[in-house]
Amino acid sequence: MILDLLILISLVLYLVQVGILIRGLTAGQAQPSSTEKPRVSVVIAARNEEQHLASCLESVLHQTYPSFNYEVVVVNDHSTDRSAEICSSYAKRTKNVRTISPPRNGEFKGKTNALIHGIEQCTGKIILITDADCIVPPTWIEHTVKYYAPNMGVVGGMTLQFARTRFEGMQSLDWAYLLGLASSAVAHRNPLSTIGNNLSFRRNAYDSVGGYRKIKFSITEDYALFQAIIREGTWDYAYPIAPELLVMTEPCPTLRSVWRQKHRWGKGGLDMKLSGFLVMGIGFATHALILTGLVTGSVAIAGGAFLVKCMGDYAFLHRVLSRLQRLRELRFFYSFQLYFISYVLILPFVVFMGGKVLWKDRQY
């Protein structure tokens, strides 16, 4: 049958793609080489994060990097909870913490506005960004800085989610898959994406593209900045997978919040280059054809293809999590597969038919 043939062709393409991604995790990965210890600024944009902000700040303040050589700039993004009080408390008792509040009716929207004003207050040569619901490892600053050879402009980093339940575990594996893909693509010199809760850049590189004031607004501002610095053409870039750089964050608590997160990422990803759409297209076609085969009677071919696809996904995730020393997360693999096939098929419809993006009580 034609359907069986299409299933097999798409499966072969999918497995070739997985093989290329696995190779990118081992070949071409940037290695830490710098021994300099430049001045560093950490920027945290916080909006209604009273439950997590103190834990985040504690992790950022307990670093192996010399405390006198880095500062923490916390931007209170017009919170209506106790976030401002927590910011002020840390700023009063810790000399390298500063807190600012951006203009409420600035010319820029949402988190981008907060980041603009936070970065402009920074004194560091290297700027690291994380979110207020994240926990960074003690080695985060020290080991990130080691990747900043003289021509390095931007360094992405891995983030996983706390996985205490199956629902949380499948989200964490999803992040491991997507960010592992992003790291592999960078190793192949074909950068596709990044995430803003574990992102760093050289201040000169930021200024060379005009910063967020000159970059076209995007609801995925991290991706926009990452691509702008790379397109500028004079800066190198890296996306290492290393436990010393691994940031942990809180998962979405409900399916509705997962939906909104995917909607926002999907909308922001519409600016992705053609190779990114090719990766997504192969994944969509493979999952759609397998599901069609299971429904219309090609159970043997479709079922076998699904098992082989799962083996490829497992091999890729095993390589990513092995490098992060987080193999225990694979206990959620079966839940992840059901989640993965569902959202890969639904996401295009969410992006084009989901209406405006709602994030952090703001609409875009």
User: How many Cα atoms within 13 Å fall on the side-chain side of residue 99?
Assistant: 20
Judged by average pLDDT, the poorest of 173-177, 246-250, 358-362 is: 358-362
**Residues 267, 270, 272, 276, Cα dihedral to 10°:** 90
pLDDT at res. 288: 93
pTM of the model: 0.92
* The token pair that represents 279 in the structure block: 């990766």
Q: Give the pLDDT mean for 157-183.
A: 95
Rounded-to-5 percentages of helix, strand, coil across the chain: 55, 15, 30
pLDDT at res. 170: 95
Q: Is the pLDDT of residue 276 over 90?
A: no
What's the pLDDT tens digit per position in 85-107?
999 999 999 999 999 988 877 67
Contact 156, 239 (CB under 8 A): yes
* The token pair that represents 59 in the structure block: 């992790």
What's the pLDDT tens digit per position in 298-337?
889 999 999 999 999 999 999 999 999 999 999 999 999 9
pLDDT at res. 41: 98
User: 216-238: string of b/e by CB count within 10 Å (b at 16+)?
Assistant: eebbbbbbbbbbbbbeeeebbbb
pLDDT at res. 108: 77
Q: Is the pLDDT of residue 251 over 80?
A: yes
Q: Give the pLDDT mean for 46-57.
A: 94
Bridge partners of residue 99, in order along the sequence: 74
pLDDT at res. 262: 82
Q: Is the pLDDT of residue 252 over 80?
A: yes
* Single-letter residue type at 206: Y
Instruction: Quote the CA–CA distance of 71 and 321 in Å, as a whole number.
Output: 31
Share of the chain above pLDDT 70, in %: 96
Indicate the average pLDDT of the chain. Answer: 91
- Of the candidates 223, 211, 209, the one whose C-alpha atom is nearest the C-alpha of residue 267 is 223
Domain ranges of the chain: 2-25+261-355, 39-179+190-250
Q: Give the pLDDT mean for 148-176.
A: 95
CATH superfamily of 39-179+190-250: Spore Coat Polysaccharide Biosynthesis Protein SpsA; Chain A (3.90.550.10)
Q: Give the pLDDT mean for 168-196.
A: 93
- Residue 128 banded pLDDT, cuts 50, 70, 90: very high
pLDDT at res. 264: 81
Between these two residues, 359 and 182, which has the higher pLDDT value?
182
Helix or strand or coil: residue 272?
A: coil
Backbone φ and ψ of 84, nearest 5°: -60, -40
Q: Give the pLDDT mean for 26-34.
A: 85
Cβ partners under 8 Å of residue 156, min gap 6 = 182, 183, 186, 194, 195, 198, 199, 226, 237, 238, 239
